[in-house]
Chain A
Amino acid sequence: MLERLLILSALLFCIGLYGALTRRHVIGVLIGVELMLNAVNVALVAFSRYVEPAGLALGEADALLEGQAFALFVVVVAAAEVALGLALVLVLVRSRDTVDLTEVSLLRR
């Protein structure tokens, strides 16, 4: 079961990576990054549920929930990232009137 979940996580991560690399629409890239962060959460939950943590022998049952706590923090960071990212999209549209990332190359010159 652990390996299934980890492979699912890897697959979702690579799909998200592909989306983030190929999309030209800036919101498409954001969607790809969200998929990648979400895939990482699957791996964290899988480790938390199926791998024995170091403290378990000492009776520290809460060590089993470390992965879920980490996943919760990742969710918060992902939500923060998408909120700021979409604010940046609005600023981009306002200042340069485009949502195409290949046209946003002002720093490259």
Chain B
Amino acid sequence: MNLFQDIVFWALAALAVAGALGAVSVRSIFHAGLLMVVSFLGVAGIFALAGAAFLAVVQVLVYAGGVAVLIIFAVMLTRDVPMSSRSGPLGPAAALIGAVLFGLLAHAVTQAQWNLLPESLPGPAARVFVDAPTRLGQVLVSDHLLAFEVMGVLLLAVVVGALALVRERSDA
């Protein structure tokens, strides 16, 4: 891990955390959606840095593209609905829960004995993160074939379900 990678990592991590903090704290829900996109883009960079090039592209396409468009679309559609400006009833308790959970997780991460991957990998594993997109495709349609097909069915069910939910009932 050289200095350049360190700098890039910290910059991307700062981007992701700042975006997330903004997304949960700004008052305007429209701005929260846009800041969420900033956080997603930071995480996409982290993925690319951690040897997951395909996931980085998927992150930009699905999260920063699809999810963000859906959320901003919904914000626009519900814009003239009245919303009182009081904040939620759980504020201090939620901050406490978040801080305690983060403390526990950070403690667990730093105390655990990780079985780390060696720097130079043996044999066929040596290039696995370079060829990750190709190999990931092969893994998805061999080891995880059932889960992959279930994903397709799930997406079909979601499309049908979403259409059924928002359908204008002319006969009712």
Contacts and interface: CB of A to CB of B under 8 A. Distances in A.
Contacts, number: 261
B96 to A, nearest CB: 10
Contacts of B9: 1, 4
B155 to A, nearest CB: 6
Contact of A21 (B75, B90, B121): B90
A31 B68 CA distance: 9
A65 B139 contact: yes
Contact of B74 (A5, A27, A45, A73): A27
Contact of A16 (B24, B29, B93, B158): B24
Interface residues of A, number: 73
Interface residues of B, number: 89
A27 B75 contact: yes
Nearest to A35: B20
B59 A21 contact: no
13 contacts: A13-B101, A15-B98, A16-B20, A17-B94, A41-B59, A45-B46, A56-B117, A61-B128, A72-B140, A75-B59, A87-B162, A87-B165, A89-B74
A21 B52 contact: no
A4 B32 CA distance: 26
